[in-house]
Amino acid sequence: MKKADVVIIGGSAAGPTAGISCRRRYPDKSVILIRKEEQVLVPCGIPYVFGTVGSPEKNLIPDALLDKNGIELLKGEAVGVDREKKVVSLADGEAVGYDKLVLATGSQPLELPIPGLDKENVFSVKKDVSYLNQMLDTMNQVKKVVIIGGGFIGVEFADECRKHRDCQDCSVTIVEILPRCLKLALDDEFCQEAQDVLVERGIKVLTDKKVTSITGDGKVSGVKLSDGQELPADMVIVGVGARPDSRLAETAGLEIGPTGGIRVDRHMRALSDENVFACGDCAEKVSFFSGKPSRLMLASIATGEARVAGANLYGVCYSNPGAVGVFCTIVGERAFGCAGLGETTARKEGYNVVVGQSVGPDRHPGSMPGMANVNLKLVFCREKGLLLGGGASGGSSIGELMNLIGACIQHSVTAYDMALFQMGTHPALTASPIAYHMVNAAEMAVKAMK
C-alpha cells in the first residue's frame, strides 16, 4: 500500500496550495495529492474559455507546480476514508495510507429544482475539460443561448459568449431570479451599472424572473418562466451557485456544518478528527465580520484556507480569521469589485453605517490614455470608524484597488487612518494624489461621521 505523511484529496485551487504550504514549512514530510481529473482547470478562468482564452486546454493549472514543490500526484477517485486505519481508498481498488489528511474536495454546481435539466444542450458549469469542450462545440452550432443565473459566473459567461467567434450573432439572455444581476455581491448602483454594460453589449437581461421548466423534445427548445413567458433557446447554461462537495467527508463520518461544508476550527482542522484538515469550497466557513456561517466560495478564500491548513499540519501556527470576500470581475471594458460588506449587506447585518464615496479618473491628468472613471464607495461603522467594506467600478486597476481595500479591512483600519494613507501615484498608473479615491472616500466618511 502506498503511504505518505500527508495525503491531500483535491487538485483545484485549495489542494495544491495546501501541499505547497506544507512543503515550504515541513520539507521532510512526504505529500501525495490525489485527484480524479486528468487535467485541472483554472477555476475562475472557466467562463473565459468560451471567448478570450479560446479552449479549456489553454486554461489549465500546470502539473509542474506539484512536481516543482515535491508533491506526488496520484490520479484516481477517492471513494472512502478509514479514519481509524488512516487509509484512503480509491475507486480503482488502490489504497493510500496517511498520517495527516487534507480534504480539498471542492464544490458541486447547485441544481435547479425544475424539470427539463436532462435535455440535450443544457449545461451546468463543471470543472471538467471534456465537458467544457462539449459546451464549446455546442456553442459553435447554436443561435439562442439562455443563461440561468446572473451571478458572477452567469454574467461572465454571457459576456464571453459575445466574444466567442461563432456566437457573435447569437442571442444571449440572462435570466435572474433577484431584482438585479450580481445582487448578492454588489450594491444596487454597481449592479445596475454592470447590467447597463451587459445590455450595451447586446445581452438581454431579465431580472425578477423565475424559471419553472426547460422545454424541448430531447433537445432543449425553450426556457419557461413563472410569468408564463417562454424564451426560445437552443442552448441553456445553468449557473446558479454551488454547494460544498462534502460527500466523501460525510461517508467518513466527519461532522458537516449548517451550510453543508466540513466543520473545521480556526486552524482548518476537522472538529471530529485531529488528523484531518479541510480547506476550500468543501470546508464550512464563517464570516470574518460576524463569525456566522458564510456561504462565500471563492478561489481566493480557498487558497487562504489552504495555506492555513498546510502550515498547521505539524504544529499550529496560523488561524483563519474567517471569510472577508474580495471579488472582482470585468464586463466589456468595465471592471467591478467589492471587498467585505457592501452598504446593503452591512445595513442588513445591523451596522450603524457611514458611507464615503469618490468618483473620478484613475489617471492624472484625465487626458492620459487608458483613463477610466472610478466610482468607489467605502462602508464604515460609525462608532469607531472601522472599515467594513467597499465596492467599486472602473478600469483594470479595480482588481488591485479592491485588494488594497481588502488589506485595510483585514488589518482593522479606520476611516481616520485611511484619510492619512500615503499612497504612491503616477499619471499613467493611478488617480492623482489630490483625489486618490480611497483617501477621498475615507475623508468624505470622516466628514459624515461628525
Rule CB under 8 A: is residue 133 a binding residue for a copy of itself?
Answer: no
State yes or no: residue 63 binds a copy of itself (CB under 8 A): no
Q: Single out the residue of 82, 208, 274, 429 in contact with a copy of itself (rule: CB under 8 A).
A: 429
**Cβ 64 to a copy of itself shortest distance, Å:** 12
Nearer Cβ to a copy of itself (17/345): 17
| Total residues at interface with a copy of itself (CB under 8 A) | 89
| 330: its cell numbers | 470585468
Asked if 404 is part of the footprint of a copy of itself (rule: CB under 8 A), the reply reads: yes
Which one among 157, 351, 380, 436 touches a copy of itself, defined by CB under 8 A? 436
Q: In this chain, which of 22, 236, 302, 386 binds a copy of itself, going by CB under 8 A?
A: 302
Instruction: Check binding of 67 to a copy of itself (CB under 8 A).
Output: no
Q: How far is the CB of 429 from a copy of itself (least distance, A)?
A: 3
Q: How far is CA 198 from CA 73, 101, 104, 154, 365, in A?
A: 41, 44, 34, 11, 29
Q: What letter represents residue 82's amino acid?
A: D
CB of 410 to a copy of itself, least distance (A): 6
- Does position 426 bind a copy of itself by CB under 8 A? yes
User: Binding to a copy of itself by residue 117, rule CB under 8 A?
Assistant: no
Kindly identify the residues of this chain, within the stretch 346-375, that bind a copy of itself according to CB under 8 A: 364-365, 367-370
Q: Is 393 in the site for a copy of itself (CB under 8 A)?
A: no
For position 250 contacting a copy of itself by CB under 8 A, the verdict is no
For the CB of residue 380, give the shortest distance to a copy of itself in the complex, in Å: 15
Whichever of 53 and 95 has its CB closer to a copy of itself, that residue is 53
Residue numbers 28-47 binding a copy of itself by CB under 8 A:
42, 44-45
Q: Is 432 in the site for a copy of itself (CB under 8 A)?
A: yes
| Position 314 contacts a copy of itself (CB under 8 A) | no
Applying CB under 8 A, the span of 215-223, 265-273, 318-326, 343-351 interacting with a copy of itself comes to 318-326
